[in-house]
Amino acid sequence: MSIDAKEMLEKASSDPYTKAIEQVSRLLEEVVRYPHQSARSLSKACDLSPSSGYRMIKAMETQGFLTRDGAGEWVRGAQALQVGLNAWGVGTLGYASEPVLNRLRQNSQSTAFIGALQHGKLWVGPFSLGRGANYLYPQSSGGYAISRSAHEGDLSKLSLVVNNNDFEVTPVFNCLYLPIVKNNQGEWLVVGVLMNKPCVPSVSKWLLEAQQRLQDALAQDDNNE
């Protein structure tokens, strides 16, 4: 790294606005990367001192950007999810996604998700999963390239690959999905299940139900407006 570049980097990290954005981003990324039971361990993983880390985590918990799950581990909070869905133009799905996805998971015995199809990629959004290796869960936000798509009756089927520039592209898993709505940027929002095993035969029934419920939620919002 040249001296100029290093100086610029140091200057940027000393800028209070850049620093605050970086810290908020890092905390939001870390909680989906690794489970942390304590604010101290989460702060450490984000290179924050215990005291300033604690203050920031508390502030983020108060604003709903971070929360603790049932096991006491830090996860992204409802407000973070809401901001993400708002950015896709489907914020109405915020409240509906939790009961719909949990029901879809429990009935289909597969990880259920709401996602967005954009330029040959599937961006995975809120998801709901069960126990252990019989269930898949997405590793990071979006970034799954679509290698193959096909149709099975009413359902669309995708083969997804990890979109990681550091590795060879390797097929990873399949998913079944149904469209919910096209947003104002022309992207399709979908509801689906991830598969690493044959799905229960009734999966299409549960997917159709979830699609209907989510579409109803959006229609309800339109009526309110």
Partner 1 sequence: MPSLASHDETNKALLPRTNAERIMAILALFDNSNNPQAVATILAHIGVGRTTGFALIRHLLKASFLERVDQGWVKLGPAAKELMFNPLGIRFQGRAFSAQGSVQDNEGVSSTIEPGEWSQDVLESVVTQAFVRKPPYKIGFSNASMSNAWRVALVCNTLYAANLHSAEIASLEVKHAEDSPQRQVQQIEELIVSGIDILLVSPAQSDDEVLAAQLRAAIEQGIAVVAVDRRPVDPKAFVSFVTASDSTIGRSSAQWLAEHLQGRGRVWMLSGPEQASPAMKRQSAALEVFARYPDIHLEAVINSHWQESAGREQVAQLLKSSQVPDGVWCDSGLQGVGSIEAFVEHRGGVPAHTGGDLNKMYKLAIHHKIPFFAADYPAAMGGRAIEIALSILAGKVVPKRLEVALNFVASRHCETVSIKADEWAERHVRWDLPDDVVLSQGPSLKIYNDKALREMLSGGDISWPLKDLVS
> Of residues 100-159, which lie at the interface with partner 1 (CB under 8 A)?
101-103, 106-107, 109, 114, 116, 123-134, 136-142
Is 42 a binding residue for partner 1 by CB under 8 A? The answer is: no
Per rule CB under 8 A, count of chain residues that contact partner 1? 97
Residues 190-219 that bind partner 1 (CB under 8 A): 196-202, 209, 213, 216-217
Q: CB under 8 Å to 30, separation ≥6 — which residues?
A: 36, 42, 45, 46
CB of 34 to partner 1, least distance (A): 6
In the bound state with partner 1, the residue whose beta carbon lies nearer, of 44 and 79, is: 79
Instruction: Determine contact, residues 91/84, Cβ cutoff 8 Å.
Output: no
- Binding track, positions 2-21, relative to partner 1; x by CB under 8 A: -------------xxxxxxx
In the bound state with partner 1, the residue whose beta carbon lies nearer, of 142 and 179, is: 142
- Which helix (H) or strand (E) element contains residue 81? helix 78-87
Burial of residue 89, with CB atoms counted within 10 A of its CB: 0-12 exposed, 13-18 middle, 19 or more buried: middle
Among 26, 30, 35, 157, binds partner 1 (CB under 8 A): 35
CB of 150 to partner 1, least distance (A): 19
CA gap 210, 199 in Å, rounded: 16
CA gap 221, 7 in Å, rounded: 50
Is 54 a binding residue for partner 1 by CB under 8 A? The answer is: no
In the bound state with partner 1, the residue whose beta carbon lies nearer, of 107 and 156, is: 107
- Binding track, positions 59-98, relative to partner 1; x by CB under 8 A: xxxxxxx-xxxxxxx-xx-xxxxxxxxxxxxxxx-xxxxx
How many C-beta atoms lie closer than 10 Å to residue 69's C-beta?
Answer: 11
Instruction: Determine contact, residues 80/94, Cβ cutoff 8 Å.
Output: no
CB of 180 to partner 1, least distance (A): 13
In the bound state with partner 1, the residue whose beta carbon lies nearer, of 44 and 221, is: 221
CA gap 216, 58 in Å, rounded: 36
In the bound state with partner 1, the residue whose beta carbon lies nearer, of 155 and 199, is: 199
Helix or strand or coil: residue 160? Answer: strand
Q: Which residues pair with 174 in a beta bridge?
A: 159, 195
